[in-house]
Structure 1
């Protein structure tokens, strides 16, 4: 995943616009918030019962939803492939101002700036974005405890374990010769190798592969290269015979994490020669 940043002058201007709008207190401002900030509309309800959660991307949003959060507002739309291209709108800042929690990843330094610009008293929560199953469940547990939704988090984990086990079993059934394939993985897609029961013989990224790395990784004779669809550097090991598979880390707008695993399994199954 690429490091993300937002231009601070834009945030300052947006903050000023937000304060001016609030000072006017007109009906038009109220109608704008009603349409733009619908996911945060329950802020008038007791936060301890239904926390209002604002997240930077759908990835954090999926973690929050898995942990039991129901009122989740995503700042960066899924359609924005590179988050640095996105400038927060006044409605985004308004949503942050009403949040109980703001979730962000350590490589997204603009999250704190968004909170500061909106004057929010929300709790900033750093999320470890890694789709490794053990790390996912640990984060869901932690967030469930923070949100007061531990029961919902436990229920989600049970369903996740069932689905993950099924996908893993299906992929093991199509491995050539029943053996664990050797793979080279981008550093943020190693979780998909684990899903397939593959052996990671080398990693690369997030920078482009250097000639020295190319020679070293090719010498490992991997069957697959697991590329990061969100920050692909093109064909990683040309002329090596390895089949490159694009792995998607981010969930969709429904903030459902399970399709990420299903889609990865489908791509890996095709690459391994399955139907």
Structure 2
């Protein structure tokens, strides 16, 4: 049975609390490093992930003992106070996963202690890149076989969803879409024709006019960074795409969810 723990954490304060961990990491208290590495002799890797996105990549790669610091319901992590137990989890982990665009990544690095291997994760839901990242993590964790099995299921599911979405094209033609830069993968999943992108910076009036002139049928907005209607008055239907998995850390559910939103939008056109 996979173990998933989600901890409410004020990431912005992790560095300030790193002193709490000094006795744990410097004096040998708490969880000590095993003789065998992760994945050896049946010992599963202990992984701490900053968010459910990294956590889902870890689970896909074969890690079962995964602790997530920021729960999926949190849109602004500094709203939560940190706990010494959160930092202890980081110090005791075999691997700490983070993304470079996360503003608290540097603090995570300094608070992690010397035991954990810090791993920067390429958070991209493009199927080819996501599959490659899962295999890379499986190699690091010592869980290559589990990662390869997951990728086989993943490739089959992506192909199935792509077929269903192509069958749902209005009029049997690939729809023109504008995508937020972090949702372009969903356009690819649907076999849609991307005529423009925007973000992550705000859309300027000039950019708005240029994108509207492309006459897209759909706007694939980033549900985590939405600022409202992107192309008002264009007639394009806006579809919210979710990048982050839920607490179950099921990365495949992200693709199924996007496919469901796209099918509904195309069916209502």
What TM-score do you get using the length of structure 2 for normalisation? 0.87
What TM-score do you get using the length of structure 1 for normalisation? 0.85
Offset of residue 112 of structure 1: 3.5
Q: How does 1:181-220 map onto structure 2 within 5 Å?
A: 181-220=175-214
- SS for the counterpart of 1:265 is helix
Cα deviation 1:15-53 (Å, max 9, x = unaligned): 234447999x9xxx99xxxxxxxxxx9976944231111
Unaligned runs of 5+ in 2: 1-9
Q: CA RMSD in A?
A: 2.6
Name the counterpart of 1:15: 18
Offset of residue 84 of structure 1: 4.4
Question: Do the aligned partners of residues 109 and 120 (structure 1) sit closer, same or farther apart at CA in structure 2, a change above 3 Å counting?
Answer: farther
Cα deviation 1:137-195 (Å, max 9, x = unaligned): 11011101111111001100110111111111111111011111000000000000001
Question: Do the aligned partners of residues 196 and 17 (structure 1) sit closer, same or farther apart at CA in structure 2, a change above 3 Å counting?
Answer: same
Offset of residue 109 of structure 1: 4.2
Cα deviation 1:58-105 (Å, max 9, x = unaligned): 000111111111111111111212334444321111001111111111
| 1:112–1:124 CA contact under 8 A, matched in 2 | no
Offset of residue 117 of structure 1: 2.4
| 1:60–1:129 CA contact under 8 A, matched in 2 | yes
Unaligned runs of 5+ in 1: 31-40
For 1:62, which of 37, 56, 61 is the aligned residue?
Answer: 56
Residue 241 (1) aligns with residue 231 (2): no
- SS for the counterpart of 1:64 is helix
Tell me, in whole angstroms, the C-alpha distance in 1 between the residues paired with 2:24 and 2:139.
36
Tell me, in whole angstroms, the C-alpha distance in 2 between the residues paired with 1:216 and 1:263.
30
Tell me, in whole angstroms, the C-alpha distance in 2 between the residues paired with 1:193 and 1:12.
39
Q: How does 1:7-46 map onto structure 2 within 5 Å?
A: 7=12, 10-19=13-22, 46=36
Question: Do the aligned partners of residues 198 and 12 (structure 1) sit closer, same or farther apart at CA in structure 2, a change above 3 Å counting?
Answer: closer
Question: Do the aligned partners of residues 82 and 265 (structure 1) sit closer, same or farther apart at CA in structure 2, a change above 3 Å counting?
Answer: same
Name the counterpart of 1:266: 260
Cα deviation 1:202-239 (Å, max 9, x = unaligned): 00011121100110000000000000000101100001
For 2:38, which of 48, 51, 66 is the aligned residue?
Answer: 48
Residue 177 (1) aligns with residue 171 (2): yes
Q: How does 1:64-213 map onto structure 2 within 5 Å?
A: 64-213=58-207
Question: Do the aligned partners of residues 112 and 45 (structure 1) sit closer, same or farther apart at CA in structure 2, a change above 3 Å counting?
Answer: farther
